[in-house]
Structure 1
Amino acid sequence: MIDERFELPPTADERTLLDTFLDYQRQALVRKCAGLTDEQLRQRAVPSSNLSLLGLVRHLATVERWYFQAVIDGNFPGSLFTRTDDRDEDFNDVDHATGEETFAIWRAEVEASRRIAADRPLEAVGQSFDAGREHSLRWVLNHMIDEYARHLGHADIIREAIDGQTGE
């Protein structure tokens, strides 16, 4: 796969850079989970951790929903995972989750995020319902790149524990 980040002209505008880098991170998540069974996707890297690849995908779907739909769009459609009262359900309640359903949820959230971001300038400001903090779309895009990058490091460790692969 071509690394689109490095195909950009060195003078690309800020919006193009942010969108491209975020999409690259999103696709890296898909690549790190590729070729695994549902059982492998649910596997924890170490007994003391609740992190699994499916849990990471579920968490990132939740983060996409929160920052783009709730904060930027001001229209939070509710939580994605509500089977339990666990506030970390996205990470913890994966015993019956499948890769197919989890990635379908994640893809839908990513598409909603793209639609919301496409209609707004980087200076657009939204407000979080929980703390009342304002965030610009610029801040959200940068935060999402950071969020994915951090969790992709976790994904490398989990994937390596499963089959020795880590990806790029």
Structure 2
Amino acid sequence: TTASGLGSGIVYDDKGDIVTNAHVVGTATAFTVTLAGSTKPLDATLVGSYPDSDLAVIRLSSPPGGLRPAVFGDSNKVELGQITLAMGSPLGLSSSVTQGIVSATGRTVSEPRTEGSPGAVIGNMVQTSAAINPGNSGGALVNLDSQVIGINTLAATEPDSSGAAAP
């Protein structure tokens, strides 16, 4: 959580590094993090932001003992039709999971420019039918082996109306 927004992240290591989207951190440098299965908010600070790839890393100021990093899979092995799970906190609903299938790989997508985010053109993306809503950004896209194969970044929109794509 920042002063102006909400997103999700992926625990990268037991030192408290968390990977998320650059558009989630925006211009913020201080964050409040609530880990899955906990209600205690933790303080975190920005390590680095890479807007051209829409990636950022934040670090917990005092990581709790027993922090378990995510296991990362090989996104080059993702196949069409593969079942995926999008994890995050959509619309502020913590610890949510939606299911979908991989409908394309190798997509190039353009993120819109918003306040705090210059937008980005990102290649080699995985497209899934799993529902992605505000708050899911920065969360894990996992396979059925619980391996992270992507990071939830954006939902499809209807180009002519800028609204959500029709179901």
TM-score, length basis structure 1: 0.24
Q: Which has the higher strand share?
A: 2
Q: Which has the higher helix share?
A: 1
Structure whose CA Rg is larger: 1
Bigger relative contact order (CA 8 A; separation at least 6)? 1
